[in-house]
Amino acid sequence: MMIIMKANCPKEQIQHIVEEIEQIGLKAHLSQGEERTVIGVVGDIRSVNREHFLRQPGIERIVPISHPYKIASREFIPQNSLFPLDGVKIGDEGIVIIAGPCSVESREGLLEIAQAVREAGAHALRGGAYKPRTSPYAFQGLGEEGLEYLAEAREVTGLPVVTEVMAPEQVPLVARYADVLQIGARNMQNYSLLHAAGESQHPVLLKRGISATIEELLMAAEYILSHGNRKVVLCERGIRTFETTTRNTTDINAIPVLKSMTHLPVILDPSHSTGNWQYVSAVARAAVAAGADGLIIEVHPNPEQALSDGAQSLTPKHFVEMVMQVKAIAEAVGRSLAPSKALASNVS
């Protein structure tokens, strides 16, 4: 339910409505527009006496929300949410590219890739310190040591860091090192983790589960948003189907569908959604053509020696080509690449 306040109604009237909402055990989310304020009401709406509210001063009208997700919906917040990331803004007109290795393997290797992706125009560095692996006997990541290397790579390159968090009790530690907490596909419905990420108020990159519906993805985002943490970016990373020539099936429909259903920024991970580096550039172009706000890409200098996901990693050389292609597509849809550190430093 949304309460649309009258244009330029005084602050005290808004405050009064908020208090009324909280008195009956519900939550109020304020959304300040240029002219008017909208108050989102979340909770068991059946207890609301609609007539009572309509008699309060300052209220123009009351609008129901038809989706099970509320704060995530475009009905609730019509304008695009912008997700600030160290200078650039995800969700804004500029396309944002996050790149780096699947997992952090060594200090030197990470620094090398970080500098390569920065030079190619990436806006942020990705890399896993904690790795969710199907087998308990596979490489599980370097842990806190990996986080330290990521922090050092940020120091050196100026790129903000995106890295995965796998358990609620890891949230404070990872948040200390990372600019964005990534919640992986396997944990999309790990509600304890979603709560902890919401409470942290730290930016979150939320990946769609391998067989999650789009509505379930928005409901997972709602868990984070319901803690007042609005800094959430959604990531399509391929779904599981019967097709076997690719690791997953990129649900390209999800890009325009999500952009119409939610105000949150939407990016695509073509490395996982194809599972094969040969198809990454084509699907990256498709994503931006379809309206994605950004990309997250796996890059490795020697893919065949990577400890994980080598088959789907681009070399730095191919990554440079991909960035150029994506730039052309961005311009064809009336957008551009977000200003990059590489350009900034070249200019100075």
User: Which residues between 112 and 171 bind a copy of itself (CB under 8 A)?
Assistant: 132-137, 166-170
Which run of H or of E encompasses 124?
strand 124-126
Alpha carbon separation from 129 to 151, 223, 260, 309 (Å, rounded): 11, 25, 34, 14
Q: Kindly tell me which of 205 and 290 has the beta carbon lying closer to a copy of itself.
A: 290
Residue whose CB is less far from a copy of itself, 122 or 221: 221
Q: Does 250 bind a copy of itself (CB under 8 A)?
A: yes
Residue from 102, 116, 174, 219 touching a copy of itself (CB under 8 A): that is: 219
By the 8 A CB rule, do 2 and 65 touch?
yes
Least Å from the CB of residue 134 to a copy of itself: 5
Taking the C-alpha atoms of residue 274 and residue 73, their distance in angstroms, rounded to an integer, is 28
Please report whether residue 290 would count as binding a copy of itself according to CB under 8 A.
Answer: yes
In 3D space, the residue among 73, 130, 126, 71 whose CA is nearest the CA of residue 96 turns out to be: 126
The answer to whether residue 283 forms part of the interface with a copy of itself (CB under 8 A) is yes
Query: From the CB of 152, what's the least distance to a copy of itself, in Å?
Result: 26
**Is there binding between residue 47 and a copy of itself (CB under 8 A)?**
no
CB 236 within 8 A of CB 254: yes
Burial 12-42 (b: 16+ CB within 10 A, else e): ebbeebbebbeeeebebbebeeeebbbbbbb
Q: Does 291 bind a copy of itself (CB under 8 A)?
A: yes
Q: For residue 321, which amino acid is it?
A: E
260 in contact with a copy of itself (CB under 8 A)? yes
The site that binds a copy of itself (CB under 8 A) totals a number of residues, namely: 72
Least distance from a copy of itself to the Cβ atom of residue 198, Å? 9
175 near a copy of itself, judged by CB under 8 A: no
